[in-house]
Amino acid sequence: MPFQTLTIEDILKNTKFIGDAKREARIRSAYEIALLAHKGQKRKSGEDYIQHPLHTALTLAKIGMGSKTISAGLLHDVPEDTKTTLSEVENKFGHEIASLVDGVTKLGKLRLKGTKEEIYLENLRKMFLAMAEDVRVVIIKLADRLHNMETLESVDKEKQHRIALETMEIFAPLANRLGIGEIKARLEDLAFRHLDSKNYEYVSKLSRKEFEQRKKYVDKVVFELKKELLKSGIKVISVSGRTKHLYSLYQKLERHDMDINKIYDLAGIRIIVPELANCYETLGIVHKKYRPLVGRIKDYISLPKPNHYQSIHTTIFGPEGKFLEIQIRTKKMHDEAEFGIASHWIYSENKKSFTDLLFRKKAKVPEKEMAWMRQLREWQKEFGTDDGEFIETLKIDFFKNHIFAFTPLGDIIDLPEDATPVDFAYQVHSEIGNRTMGAKVNGKMVPLDYKIKNGEVVEIITSRDPKKPSRDWLKFVRTSNAKSHIRRFMKKEGILL
Ligand code: MN
């Protein structure tokens, strides 16, 4: 695969603030420093090293990040790999950009010796902690990883495997969590190719063949639908054919006995409309034209997926009675699906849209899973619009009042600031809470009213017999979960509070 050679102009013309002199100057200046610092360095592939930060920055620009994040993307390997130091970066670009660069460097550093699981957990832990400080660090890391995956051919086989595995297990799920579908899909396909080349080849051949066969057919339906929608007066933004990305196709095949005929959404049509109401109108028009397959209508608009994905999916009997999946969504939903949290800033408007109202009322998001994501959204609503470089201010204040602690097995427990081992114990399980006798933090005994700090490993020492929670605990516990369990226990025992 020939590498695409980028210039700084490629970055600038892909930002969402084209023509903004101040921001463009910042990016150019970051580029100049990176170019100078990496001068003479080559990547394993033989290309100039600067191409790597440029590709990283291009991804960041494309998903709508601000100029500071893009600048940090350009500078992300400077302190680590060149003579230019972090404090020089800080002097020139200020603390914010420097701390982003520093965060990315730190994420790349730590690697535990030990089993695969241990390394995995450690990496995951680092990601969470980095995210707790500033989610932009993780987004830069994802963009960095994407380019490393794209150029993975040039490193040795063993390293290829390790990096591909890490990408599949940590980076793609993280991209998914952040709702950046575009990056998630690309990371998965690249990792899939390295980890399971046989199945990758199989699936890509299958997909190509199917696509060629279906292209004419899909084009025909697109043409028909455009005509119908035009008649109805709905302003359609686009109607286009789409294909499933390879890894998700493979996963689906695995669930369906590797039988391609059981997969209806291999190739499909995506209709993008301006307003939410248009989605349902369009669905009506589609169903009037083509009979829907019963049980295949999924309304992810009123019930979004856990990562906030919203769209209507329906499978229809197309011409000649062939199945075809049609997705209907607004432009906003589309951008959210592709660009994730970055798009929340693109759309941070003051007026509450119908989607927001609907979302707030009806969204059923698994509590634990996406709690932080929802908080992010809330936070964004509060701080809403600003000078347009919204993501630049994305210090997740929410996380400032939140800590992540770990069980000795590496499970992540999400707690409010100043939470104690008793809160931790109840968060793990009410029975563990009730039996708490003592606690160790990072291997050392601590009092039960100890204030847990971000990243600490907490081990709860429990009694074999059910021990009574102490009413004194109510004086220091922070979570309502712990409070209510302790109160319930007191009540049951007839102890008055
Ligand atoms: Mn890098």
Q: Which residues surround ligand 1, an ion (CB under 5 A)?
A: 77, 144
Cβ-proximal residues to 391 (8 Å cutoff; 6+ apart), any chain:
64, 65, 66, 69, 136, 342, 345
Strand pairing of 323-330 and 267-273?
A: parallel
Q: Other CB atoms closer than 10 Å to residue 21's CB: what's the count?
A: 8
CA 459 to chain centre: 30
Structure-model confidence comparison of residues 55 and 262, the more confident one: 55
Of 24, 47, 80, 182, catalytic: 80
At 260 the pLDDT is: 81
| Burial classification of residue 88, based on how many CB atoms lie within 10 Å of its CB (0-12 exposed, 13-18 middle, 19 or more buried) | middle
Ligand 1: distance of its center to the CA of 81 in Å? 9
Question: What rounded mean pLDDT belongs to the chain?
Answer: 81
What three-state secondary structure class fits 197?
Answer: helix
180 vs 406: CA distance, rounded Å: 26
| Per-residue model confidence as pLDDT tens digits over 448-489 | 999 998 778 899 999 887 667 888 999 999 888 898 889 888
At 407 the pLDDT is: 82
Q: Other CB atoms closer than 10 Å to residue 149's CB: what's the count?
A: 22
| Per-residue model confidence as pLDDT tens digits over 128-162 | 666 656 778 888 999 999 999 999 988 899 889 98
At 386 the pLDDT is: 33
At 247 the pLDDT is: 93
Ligand 1: distance of its center to the CA of 93 in Å? 19
| Per-residue model confidence as pLDDT tens digits over 35-57 | 999 999 999 888 999 999 999 99
Ligand 1: distance of its center to the CA of 53 in Å? 7
Q: Other CB atoms closer than 10 Å to residue 417's CB: what's the count?
A: 14
State the pLDDT confidence band at 125, using cuts at 50, 70 and 90.
low
Give me the DSSP letters along 380-440: HHHH---SS-GGGG---HHHHTEEEEE-TT--EEEEETT--HHHHHHHH-HHHHHTEEEEE
State the pLDDT confidence band at 387, using cuts at 50, 70 and 90.
very low
Distant-in-sequence contacts of 45-50, Cβ < 8 A, 24+ apart: 45/3, 45/151, 45/153, 45/154, 46/154, 47/3, 47/5, 49/77, 49/81
| Per-residue model confidence as pLDDT tens digits over 72-107 | 999 999 999 999 999 999 999 999 999 999 989 877
| Per-residue model confidence as pLDDT tens digits over 344-367 | 433 332 223 323 322 332 223 233
What is this structure's pTM?
0.66
Helices and strands in the chain, H and E counts? 22, 10
Of 20, 81, 182, 449, catalytic: 81
Residue 80 is a catalytic residue: yes
203 vs 141: CA distance, rounded Å: 29
Ligand 1: distance of its center to the CA of 73 in Å? 9
Q: What is the mean pLDDT of residues 431-435?
A: 91
Residue 459 is a catalytic residue: no
At 436 the pLDDT is: 94
